[in-house]
Amino acid sequence: MIKIVAILLVVSAGILADPVLKPQIIGGTDAKRGDNPHMCSLRSTRHGCGASIISANWAVTAAHCVEGVAPSARTLRCGTLVAEQGGKDYKIAQIIIHPDYDTPTMINNDIALLKIEGAFDLGTQDSDIIKLPVQDSDLATDAVVTVTGWGHLVNGGPANSVNLQTLDVPVVGRADCTEKYKSFNPVTTAMFCAGLPDGGVDACQNDSGGPVKYNGELVGIVSWGRQCALPNYPGVYVRVALFRNWITQNTVFILLVISATTLADPVLKPQIIGGTDAKRGDNPHMCSLRSTRHGCGASIISAKWAITAAHCVEGVAPSARTLRCGTLLHEQGGKDYTISEMIMHPDYDKPTIINNDIALLKINGEFDIGIPDSDIIKLPTKGSELSPGTIVTVTGWGYLVNGGGSSPATLQTVDVPVVDRGYCAERNNHVAPVTNAMFCAGVPEGGKDACQNDSGGPVKYNGELVGIVSWGKQCALPDYPGVYARVSVFRDWIKQNTGV
């Protein structure tokens, strides 16, 4: 954390060059192997700040550690207890600083995301993901949290610790902490404080950006304080729970292309992996939602209405999209329909990211229906639920391999079993919440899934549209099933808006 205050809290790109300005663990002990596999060293030529792995491609740190820094000027070293040896180095492809960093007070919203080139080695004793807390959750006063880092071992000391250090400190009430710091710097709701009244244990220079853990979750990030380990001046940490949705928007969403630009960049949109060519007449409800090319799937539900994922049309004007229906080949054949109206679910993205991911599309004129290539799909009964193990069918024109290539010429189809919601929620706990408005499907070993460019497409069971392709952690990963909008939850809403 930056152990200076008020106007001296101006942290710049020079932070890694001047150890006097970087926050250290004082009063801690050597960390044990396997206790902190999420821990990374953010470095130029040497250790400068801490960071934590939160997904296969992303880490999180303090904004003041990377302010004014180009991604190419830093690397992450992860998977070691010794910052200057061992582990594996990763190049950084992208840095995202919170847009309200330093607003409205100095060192506020002190959080940044780091996307690496490639993926972290995960699932080992030395390198793994740390879970994130629930949005807006708060820590009780006196809850004991754990701080880790490679900072100096004494206040203002000359060198970093060789071995990763860890210490336990109790949370201090925000009002009490605010009072202590009132003449130095504001303590906002985006922060929390932890430390002992007598001082002697604290994070300090070169610990900035490092993790604060509670109950196995990343609840805080080392940020700032008045010098290090002083009596009556607890350390101040970023309250990660306040930024939970922002993190998801910038990591899950970037991976899935959940934005108005999904139709513009095929490299970033949800594909069928492990499927086969669909047969004529099996999916006459299937449409391609497109700008100049295929972007998302959609399904015909009446003579005038189709249904898709809300994230496929967020921020998009009806005139900017068309529907191509009645063909197995999205780039030829079929018939194009202009769209007159788009209705996104009013609670899309509420109360959690990518929740209620459903939208209705009304066309000008009517669909050609009642023929082998173009027809309506039935909707499920309100509130109906699929049992775990039920085999559902997903269709789409997305990529055939994870993360690249081109869309297949022919519509693809894949059969996958429904997965227990509780298990799916646990697997995706660090990615995004799995709500009652969703269900999951996939095989444990991976290899079959929907992904980029399949978003909005249909999931069928017993001839009914039970789901809509929504999101997932990358594509076809083992133990990470795809997540789909549960259409039966929205049955009344669909009827109110379409009469269907």
The CATH code of the domain that includes 57 is 2.40.10.10
Q: Which residues contact 215 (CB under 8 A, 6 or more apart)?
A: none
The pLDDT of residue 430 = 67
Does residue 327 sit in the same domain as residue 430? yes
What pLDDT digit, counting tens, does each position of 46-97 carry? Answer: 888 999 999 878 999 999 999 989 999 999 999 999 888 899 999 999 999 9
Does residue 47 sit in the same domain as residue 193? yes
Which of 140-149, 197-206, 391-400 tops mean pLDDT? 140-149
Does residue 421 sit in the same domain as residue 362? yes
**Measured between alpha carbons, how far is 485 from 196 in angstroms, rounded to an integer?**
47
Does residue 68 sit in the same domain as residue 215? yes
Does residue 217 sit in the same domain as residue 297? no
The residue annotated as part of the active site, out of 208, 223, 288, 299, is 208
Mean pLDDT of 312-333: 89
Task: Answer whether residue 255 is part of any domain.
Answer: no
What pLDDT digit, counting tens, does each position of 478-492 carry? Answer: 567 888 999 999 999
The pLDDT of residue 225 = 80
- Radius of gyration over alpha carbons of the chain, in Å? 25
Does residue 364 sit in the same domain as residue 451? yes
The residue annotated as part of the active site, out of 110, 202, 357, 375, is 110
What pLDDT digit, counting tens, does each position of 390-410 carry? Answer: 999 999 886 544 444 455 678
Does residue 209 sit in the same domain as residue 300? no
Domain count along the chain: 2
Mean pLDDT of 423-444: 85
Comparing CA positions, the residue from 489, 381, 382 lying closest to residue 435 is 489
Task: Answer whether residue 6 is part of any domain.
Answer: no
Does residue 157 sit in the same domain as residue 240? yes
Does residue 103 sit in the same domain as residue 166? yes
The residue annotated as part of the active site, out of 64, 98, 152, 294, is 64
Where are the alpha helices (H) located in 352-447, listed in sequence order?
421-427
The pLDDT of residue 444 = 66
Among residues 226, 246, 266, the one where a domain terminates is 246
User: Residue 379 pLDDT more than 50?
Assistant: yes
225 — phi, psi (to 5°)? 175, 175
Query: Is residue 448 within 8 Å of 426, Cβ to Cβ?
Result: no
Task: Answer whether residue 79 is part of any domain.
Answer: yes
Task: Answer whether residue 17 is part of any domain.
Answer: no
**Measured between alpha carbons, how far is 416 from 469 in angstroms, rounded to an integer?**
13
Residue 428: give the domain boundaries. 276-498
Comparing CA positions, the residue from 41, 129, 150 lying closest to residue 87 is 41
Is 208 designated active site?
yes
**Measured between alpha carbons, how far is 7 from 107 in angstroms, rounded to an integer?**
10
Query: Is residue 283 within 8 Å of 302, Cβ to Cβ?
Result: no
The pLDDT of residue 59 = 96
User: Residue 422 pLDDT more than 50?
Assistant: yes
Does residue 144 sit in the same domain as residue 100? yes
Does residue 131 sit in the same domain as residue 226? yes
Query: Is residue 225 within 8 Å of 234, Cβ to Cβ?
Result: yes
Task: Answer whether residue 267 is part of any domain.
Answer: no
The tokens for 389 are: 């193990």
